[in-house]
Amino acid sequence: MTIDSLLQSFQRFGVNLSLERIKNLLEILGNPQDKIPIIHVTGTNGKGSVCAYLSSILSTAGYKVGRYISPHLIDWTERISINGENIETATLENLLKDIESLIDPQQESPTQFEVITAAAWLYFAMEKVDIAVIEVGLGGRLDATNVCAQPLVTVITSISREHWQNLGPTVADIAGEKAGILKANCPAVIGQLPESARGVVRERIKLLNCPTVWVEAAEKIADNRAKYQGLEYPLSLAGDFQLTNSAIAIAVVNILRQQGWQISDEVVQEGMAKTRWLGRLQTVNWCQREILIDGAHNPAAAMGLRQYVDGLKAPKIIWVMGILSTKDHREIFQALLKKSDSLYLVPVPDHSSANPENLAELAASICPELSHLETCSDLFLGLKKALQESADSQIILCGSLYLVGYFLGSLFQGK
């Protein structure tokens, strides 16, 4: 059986966000999460980058480092890795079979995310990792990853209005959910937050007596180089928002050092240089043209992407986009689109995609001075049409991580 078919019997989303199902499941498995020191990371944007930096730095320091992320771009095995090596397909399949055989059919069935999360805990415990970097799936308070009583460090990278359908209508509500990963007396590292979120998080920190580092962005000292708290280091991930993400990672490292972890400045620099993060401001070659791909799918990420694209100073910008129906389409377009840009809108395959025709109507109302606006029946048709525009234009594929993953998967399969 494939991983997809093994997970198919579980509901994709729970009827309600709850920790009861995952706790019951982990208890059956012997509570593997209690055997692993973890860094727990949440945030609207930046959490994947922070996890990538931390995993790279810690493995460079000689530790055996588990990393759990979501969603995956191409393959389920991406979600669970040790020292940058994804779990073997057969190993994950066997873990899922073992877990499925232990589930009580009389109990409410766990979700796909809860089952794959349980598999990650089990794998890391079996492999006896020294430390695991765990990325929250959704929110924090009721996320299936939020089952460790005392993480080494908890991290909130950023907070903006996304997944409000699940987490609450306001930024303050969302902040309350993300602050749910904070634990009593456990060190916290907090990125730059809007004031409405900052107040909520500050109250939670006070209540739980968390020693806290509030992180400001690192100083940019050259292209691809930064400085934070006196340490200069290379930045292998693109975009000015990495000045904050990298500073958060270093703040976490400093706390780990205080706890006795051996991580030199040279290791931090080497780990930063070696960090890779697929599908985020990544340049790929397709049909003999360089295409920039990025998973930006909310307004804050779209603003960061536009800032980066403007810095490229390309004579023409061509967007190829697909967006899920649940996203804030208006604000994403307001952040991205400018006069004389071209826009090709495509569906996101196998997910709840927004209708490209509806998106086109909205985009035209927001930026009527687009040089070209067209809907296409699939991603590759959109890309081929974009290629027909001027050769010196910059093509950007964005709007959904699932769309980026579909593109990369097809690329690796030689489509």
Reported confidence tier of residue 415, pLDDT bands at 50, 70, 90:
low
Cα distance between residue 96 and residue 115, in whole Å: 7
Cα distance between residue 158 and residue 190, in whole Å: 8
Identify the pLDDT of residue 346.
98
Q: Classify 230 as helix, strand or coil.
A: coil
Cα distance between residue 47 and residue 54, in whole Å: 11
Cα distance between residue 230 and residue 269, in whole Å: 12
What is the CATH code for 282-412? 3.90.190.20
Compute and round to an integer the Cα radius of gyration of the chain. Answer: 21
Higher pLDDT, residue 313 or 161: 313
Reported confidence tier of residue 167, pLDDT bands at 50, 70, 90:
low
Q: pLDDT over 70 for what percent of the chain?
A: 97
Residues 6 or more apart in contact with residue 46 via CB below 8 angstroms? 157, 158, 191, 241, 244, 245, 248
* Amino acid making up residue 315: P
**Pairing relationship of beta strands 342-345 and 317-321 according to DSSP bridges:** parallel
Tokens 């999460």 label which residue? Answer: 33
Provide mean pLDDT across the span 334-358. 97
Higher pLDDT, residue 359 or 297: 359
Contact 208, 190 (CB under 8 A): no
How much is the mean pLDDT over the chain?
Answer: 94
Q: For 187, what's the count of Cα atoms within 13 Å in the CB-facing half-sphere?
A: 17
Cα distance between residue 29 and residue 98, in whole Å: 9
* Amino acid making up residue 257: R
Reported confidence tier of residue 11, pLDDT bands at 50, 70, 90:
confident
Reported confidence tier of residue 1, pLDDT bands at 50, 70, 90:
confident
pLDDT above 90 for 125? yes
According to DSSP H, which parts of 217-345 are helical? Answer: 242-258, 265-274, 299-312, 329-336
Cα distance between residue 51 and residue 58, in whole Å: 10
CA dihedral for 97, 102, 106, 109, sign (positive or negative): negative
Q: pLDDT per residue over 35-82, tens digit each?
A: 999 999 999 999 999 999 999 999 999 999 999 999 999 999 999 999
What is the CATH code for 3-274? 3.40.1190.10
In CATH terms, are 3-274 and 282-412 the same topology? no
Helix (H) or strand (E) holding 287: none
Identify the pLDDT of residue 213.
99
Identify the pLDDT of residue 36.
96
Q: pLDDT over 90 for what percent of the chain?
A: 89
Task: Indicate the domain borders of the chain.
Answer: 3-274, 282-412
**Pairing relationship of beta strands 65-68 and 80-82 according to DSSP bridges:** antiparallel
Contact 310, 316 (CB under 8 A): no
Identify the pLDDT of residue 160.
86
User: How is residue 40 annotated by DSSP?
Assistant: E
User: How is residue 179 annotated by DSSP?
Assistant: G
User: How is residue 216 annotated by DSSP?
Assistant: P
Helix (H) or strand (E) holding 89: helix 89-102
Identify the pLDDT of residue 347.
98
Q: pLDDT per residue over 204-250, tens digit each?
A: 999 999 999 999 999 999 989 999 999 999 999 999 999 999 999 99
Q: Classify 30 as helix, strand or coil.
A: coil
How many Cβ atoms sit within 10 Å of the Cβ of residue 353?
Answer: 19
Shortest CA distance to 120 belongs to which of 15, 25, 12, 10? 25
Identify the pLDDT of residue 161.
74
Identify the pLDDT of residue 15.
47
Shortest CA distance to 121 belongs to which of 184, 27, 44, 54? 27
Q: Classify 39 as helix, strand or coil.
A: strand
Q: Classify 280 as helix, strand or coil.
A: coil
Provide mean pLDDT across the span 134-142. 93
Identify the pLDDT of residue 196.
92
Q: pLDDT per residue over 295-318, tens digit each?
A: 999 999 999 999 999 999 999 999
